[in-house]
Homo-oligomer: A and B are copies of this chain.
Amino acid sequence: MRFRLTPREDSYYDMFADSANNLVTGARLLVELIADGADREGIAEKMRACEHAGDEFTHAIMRRLNESFITPFDREDIYRLASTLDDVMDFMEAAADLVLLYNIEELPRDVIAQVEVLERAAELTADAMPRLRGLRDLSEYWIEINRLENQGDQTYRRLLAELFSGKYDALTVLKLKEVIDQLEAAADAFEHVANTVETIAVKES
């Protein structure tokens, strides 16, 4: 019989994977939300539940971190990875929330492209988390996230130009801009997650 001295240490990887899989759920809810004829109230409620689940994952990681003497990476990197994953969810939930709060009827078409970038980034992130265990094959992940973020940035800029083209009145611009800014912040936050993973990989390798 073999005793395990640090019985549940691996579970950080599982907790990060849970948190990232939850982002996939959230991003898919955003895709549904902006589709024509969506049940927006129903989807927004699922989004809030998704955000609460994300908070639970984050707290579980923080609690474990506070109780652990031994951690697989630097404590500050675990803290930062959990926080940046949490940030993504907060921005996605805020965007969904504002669509309902402002009762926005119609979003510019490029918002679809913006949300698809988030969905793809969430999938890549969820896919990468289990590879943290061996710190292998992670560079393609962060390179692809950087590429996606640049693509999202182009879309964001096209959207800003459209908002200020004279097609919308000032109050509508204010409302749409807040939604679009939250989605852009979510894309940036995925890049912060990837930067944190890169930092961990560089340090530990």
**Does chain B have a CB within 8 A of A70?**
no
How many residues of A are in contact with the other chain, CB < 8 A? 20
Q: Which residues in chain A, 176-205, are within 8 Å of chain B measured between CB atoms?
A: 177, 199, 202-203
Binds B, one of A11-19, A122-130, A132-140, A167-175: A167-175
- Comparing A20-28, A39-47, A156-164, the segment that makes contact with chain B is A156-164
Q: A174, A202, A203: which has the most chain B beta carbons within 10 Å?
A: A174
Rounded to whole Å, the gap between the CB of A173 and the closest CB of chain B is 6
Say how many copies of this protein the assembly contains. 3
Distance to closest chain B CB from A71 (angstroms): 14
Question: What residues of B have a CB within 8 angstroms of the CB of A164 in the complex?
Answer: 102, 171, 174-175
A2 contacts the other chain (CB 8 A): no
Is A101 an interface residue, CB under 8 A from the partner?
Answer: yes
Interface status of A66 (Cβ within 8 A of chain B): yes
Q: State whether the Cβ of A63 lies closer than 8 Å to any Cβ in chain B.
A: yes
Contact, CB under 8 Å: A101 / B199:
no
Query: A202 — which chain B residues lie within 8 A by C-beta?
Result: 63, 66
A62 within 8 A of B: yes
Chain B, Cβ-Cβ closest to A79: B76
| Selected contact of A161 from candidates B66, B101, B170, CB within 8 Å | B101
Which of A65-115 touch B at CB < 8 Å?
Answer: 66, 101-102
Take A101-B157, A102-B164, A161-B101 as given contacts and tell me if A203 and B66 are in contact as well, using a CB distance cutoff of 8 Å. yes
Question: A: which residues have CB within 8 A of B?
Answer: 62-63, 66, 101-102, 157, 160-161, 164, 166, 169-171, 173-175, 177, 199, 202-203
